[in-house]
Structure 1
Amino acid sequence: MIDLWTTDALRILLVAFGVGIVVGLTGMGGGALMTPALIFLGINPATAVANDLVAASVNKTVGAAVHWRNGSPNLRLAGLLMAGSVPFAFAGGFIVKAVGDEEARTDFLTTAIGWALLLAAGSYALRIYLQLRLVANGNEVPAEEPHIRAVPTVLVGAFGGLLVGITSVGSGSLIMVALLLLYPTMTALRLVGTDLVQAVPLVLAAAVGHVVNEGVEWVVLIPLVLGGSPGTFLGAKMTNWVSQSVIRRGIVIVLTLTGLKMLGVPPETIGFIGAGILLLGPLAWGFIRQMHGLPNFDNDSTAWRLPEDEDETATP
């Protein structure tokens, strides 16, 4: 019988619940936040990636179901992303297995996850800035659907699938930013919904590849699912009425510092960088907003104005 009433299991459950809320709210953060958290809790990186991917396939299904009911995902766009992402995501576990013995895989995954987190942080910061420019240039939602660019979309799915398949990072961060670059007129709710729908088969394929090679640890997997599923459901329900401004900037800071930690940067340096971001970041952001003709610190600024019968907002 599996003992779930241990301190470690309860820690995993609580962390999974918190990460699930972020996933439901923003469509990102599952692998980017949960996998490093598991590693910091003392779990082997390969085991952390494998179990997080299995749990994410369940948790993202919950979030996708909520967004499906709201009618927000673009299904054609999601299908093109799946065509590129699923086969590459499945290959990820075999690539990690081919690296070598357990020690080699641990070193490889720790480094790969660290760089993936920094890439995710940079791409998410870019997303915030791009949405800020949309605000400055006029923020009314176009009535027509965006033109679907098939080849670039499939390539985005392939790159995102490979990254997720190896590190479990990227299904809701890098792909989301790429979608914003390709389809800048899509609203935040549709972006989150589309990403969550395509992420289900993506993460499931990656999970199968890792489970075949690594297996699962039930004492890790069960708390991840029990904590993550209700958290994702709650976060998805809160999307329409919770301002994402502070959450987004906070995620960028967390991903940056966590990535540096995974890469072995000394704690003193990480602390210095973190303090600099916390102290100077808001001032720099206020200056950037002012350059685009917006109030310096307006957390309630709406990225898109919707028709009167809708109330979706997205805050940069």
Structure 2
Amino acid sequence: MNLLYTASGFAVGLLVGITGVGGGSLMTPLLVFLFGFKPAVAVGTDLIYAALTKSVGVFVHHGKHRSVDWRIVGLLALGSLPFAGLTLYMLNSFIANGKEISHAMTFTLGVALLLTALSLLVRSILMRRASKEAIVDDQLSTVENSGRFSPRWEKIATVITGAILGVLVTLSSVGAGALGTVALLFLYPRMSTLKIVGTDLAHAIPLTAVAGLGHLSMGNFDLDLLLSLLLGSVPGIWIGSHLSAKIPEHYLRPVLATLLLVIGTKFVLQ
């Protein structure tokens, strides 16, 4: 166990609990910049970490709130899992041929962080619009049609969204949380926020598990790092979740978005 890793896990968990920002967008850059891990190892370890921690969240959402739309989870997975597998195959092929993948993963991580930063800025706007539309639709008794498009195009758009998330998450470990939530808010504006979060969380588990196990098979994993992060992040998330009602989120989100913009730009320009 490394106390610095544990402390970092606690700090990231605290921020995740307060703001709801995905841990990957905070943890992976921290591991690369502060502790000097190779991007591949940071991404692979963070994916396994995400699969374990998100499983607890889905247990709460499905068991207590019944807030997971499994039909949408299936459509997202129909796109994300095959493309995650394809991305892993390409990464493995590059490694087998002796080609360096660190630059490609660093660039993708930067792009994912920039997209996450932008998503933080528009998420509150989308959530306010979604709440208003849900109220109107509830009054009109049309909440069952929660999609933005017709049923046919809704399915296609959801599968394509899953495919994009599959590639981004596999290459960077970023996107399963913040980007997935924003995408669902756009595709299903009349779905409740609780259901959006639960559905995105449920889809993130198989995606991060498949991507994480793929990286594990390539050796992109550090067990001591994983255990240290879990030791710190679990209490951090618990404390942060309780503090979230006392700390105004609209103050922290712009700060986090700005930080991710700076870090993402640095990754892209490396």
Structure 1 distance, partners of 2:155, 2:247, is: 32
- RMSD over aligned CA atoms reads 2.8
Distance 1:24 1:81, change over 3 A: farther
One of 173, 176, 197 as aligned partner of 1:168: 173
One of 171, 191, 196 as aligned partner of 1:191: 196
1:309 match: none
Q: Say whether residues 1:259 and 2:264 are aligned partners.
A: yes
2:13 match: 20
Identical positions, percent: 37
User: Retained in 1: the 8 A contact 2:181–2:200?
Assistant: yes
Query: 1:154 deviation in Å?
Result: 1.4
Structure 2 distance, partners of 1:54, 1:218, is: 10
2:3 match: 10
Structure 1 distance, partners of 2:240, 2:68, is: 16
TM-score (norm 2): 0.82
Q: Say whether residues 1:76 and 2:81 are aligned partners.
A: no
Structure 1 distance, partners of 2:247, 2:196, is: 16
Distance 1:138 1:181, change over 3 A: closer
User: Retained in 2: the 8 A contact 1:142–1:185?
Assistant: yes
User: Retained in 2: the 8 A contact 1:122–1:252?
Assistant: yes
Q: Say whether residues 1:37 and 2:42 are aligned partners.
A: no
Structure 2 distance, partners of 1:198, 1:85, is: 9
Q: Say whether residues 1:153 and 2:158 are aligned partners.
A: yes
1:204 match: 209
Distance 1:188 1:210, change over 3 A: same
Q: Say whether residues 1:227 and 2:232 are aligned partners.
A: yes
Query: 1:141 deviation in Å?
Result: 6.7
2:51 match: 57
Q: Secondary structure at the match of 1:42?
A: coil
Aligned pair count reads 257
Report which structure shows greater RCO (CA 8 Å, sep ≥6): 2
One of 78, 89, 109 as aligned partner of 2:105: 109
Q: Say whether residues 1:124 and 2:129 are aligned partners.
A: no
Name whichever structure is richer in helix by fraction. Answer: 2
Instruction: State the Cα deviation string for residues 208-262 of structure 1 (Å, max 9, x = none).
Output: 1111112421221111222233444555677778753233323312211111222
TM-score (norm 1): 0.71
Distance 1:51 1:88, change over 3 A: same
